[in-house]
Amino acid sequence: NAGVTQTPKFRILKIGQSMTLQCTQDMNHNYMYWYRQDPGMGLKLIYYSVGAGITDKGEVPNGYNVSRSTTEDFPLRLELAAPSQTSVYFCASSYDGNSGLSYEQYFGPGTRLTVT
Amino acid sequence: KNQVEQSPQSLIILEGKNCTLQCNYTVSPFSNLRWYKQDTGRGPVSLTIMTFSENTKSNGRYTATLDADTKQSSLHITASQLSDSASYICVVSRQTGANNLFFGTGTRLTVIP
C-alpha cells in the first residue's frame, strides 16, 4: 500500500491565484481530513469527510473548499490565495472514525505552500 | 476550553540518555490520547493510542503513560538514538465525531552524539 499520498510537495503561489492540493489514500478508509500546520503551532483541521459525497467544516475552513466524489480522493481547493494561507498542509485518513475509541490516523507527507 | 499543552517546547539530549515529555489536557469528555512522532518534512506517525482505562502503553523504546484523573500523559524515551530527533505531538480525542481531535504544539527533541 502507498498509504496517503499528496501532490505537489512544494508550491509557490502569487496572491489571488488558485490551486488544488491533491490527496489520495489506498487503504479504503472512510474518513479523510485536511490540516494545516503553521510554524510552532499545532495542526488545525480545515475540512473533513466521513465518506464519499459528505464533507464538513473543521476549525479553519475559510478560503478553502473540498470535495469527496470517491472514497480514495479528497482534494483541497484554494481560491484567491492569500499570504495567510502560507503553511504546510497535511492530508490524513482513518477507518470508521466515528467509533471514537482507538482509530488511528495516517498522514500524508505534506504540501509546503508559500503565497507571496 | 478544550486544550492540549505540551512541555518542554524543545529538548536536547545526548545519545543513549533517557527523556520524558509531558502532555496536559483539558479535553472533555475524554475518549483517547495519542502520541505522534513527526520527522522534519514528514507527516506525523502514530506511536501509541491510549483509552481511558489504559495507564501505560509501550512501543519499543517509547512508553506512554496516562493519568486520566489528573489529565496528564507522558512519553518516556529510553536509550535515545539519533533517529529519535523529531517533534512529538500529543493528540487528545473527545468522544464521538471526526472533528474532535485536539493537537498539542509538540516537543522538538534533538538527540546529539
Report the chain B residue with the minimal C-alpha distance to residue A58: B99
The residue to which cell 465518506 is assigned: A51
d(CA A43, CA A61): 13
- Distance to chain A for B66, nearest Cα, Å: 15
Q: Is the pLDDT of residue A100 over 70?
A: no
- Please compute the mean of the pLDDT values over residues B2-22 and round it to a whole number: 96
CB-based contacts of A5, cutoff 8 Å, min separation 6: A23, A24, A25, A108, A109
Please report which confidence band the pLDDT of residue B79 belongs to, taking 50, 70 and 90 as the band edges.
very high
Between chains, do B105 and A110 touch, taking CB under 8 Å as contact? no
For residue A75, give the 3-state DSSP assignment: coil
Between chains, do A102 and B95 touch, taking CB under 8 Å as contact? no
Report the chain A residue with the minimal C-alpha distance to residue B87: A40
Percent of chain A beyond pLDDT 70?
93
Helices (H) and strands (E) in chain B, counts: 0, 11
Between chains, do B98 and A97 touch, taking CB under 8 Å as contact? yes
Q: What is the pLDDT of residue A83?
A: 96
Report the chain B residue with the minimal C-alpha distance to residue A40: B105
d(CA A110, CA A98): 24
Q: What is the pLDDT of residue B96?
A: 63
As a whole number, the mean pLDDT across chain A is 91
Residues of B with CB under 8 A from a CB of A: 4, 31-32, 34, 41-46, 49, 51, 89, 93, 95-99, 101, 103-106
d(CA B60, CA B33): 18
Q: Is the pLDDT of residue A105 over 90?
A: no
Q: What angle do CA B14, B16, B20 make, to 5 degrees?
A: 75
Least confident stretch, A21-25, A50-54, A94-98? A94-98
Please report which confidence band the pLDDT of residue A97 belongs to, taking 50, 70 and 90 as the band edges.
low
Buried b (16+ CB within 10 A) or exposed e, A34-69: bbbbeeeebbebbbbbbebeebeebebbeebebbbe
Q: What is the pLDDT of residue B98?
A: 61
Q: What confidence tens digit (pLDDT) does each residue in B23-61 have? A: 999 988 888 899 999 999 899 999 999 988 889 999 999
CB atoms within 10 A of CB B90: 27
Between chains, do B96 and A100 touch, taking CB under 8 Å as contact? yes
Q: What confidence tens digit (pLDDT) does each residue in A13-39 have? A: 999 999 999 999 999 999 999 999 998
Q: Is the pLDDT of residue B7 over 80?
A: yes
d(CA A40, CA A37): 8
d(CA B47, CA B57): 10
Closest to A98 (Cβ–Cβ): which among B42, B51, B97?
B97
Q: How far is CA B58 from CA A100, B34, B65, B84, in A?
A: 21, 12, 9, 15
- Distance to chain B for A98, nearest Cα, Å: 5
Q: What is the pLDDT of residue A104?
A: 80
For residue A23, give the 3-state DSSP assignment: strand
CB A76 within 8 A of CB A21: yes
Q: How is residue A73 annotated by DSSP?
A: B
Q: What is the pLDDT of residue B41?
A: 87
Q: What confidence tens digit (pLDDT) does each residue in A56-91 have? A: 999 899 999 999 999 999 999 999 999 999 999 999
Percent of chain B beyond pLDDT 90?
77
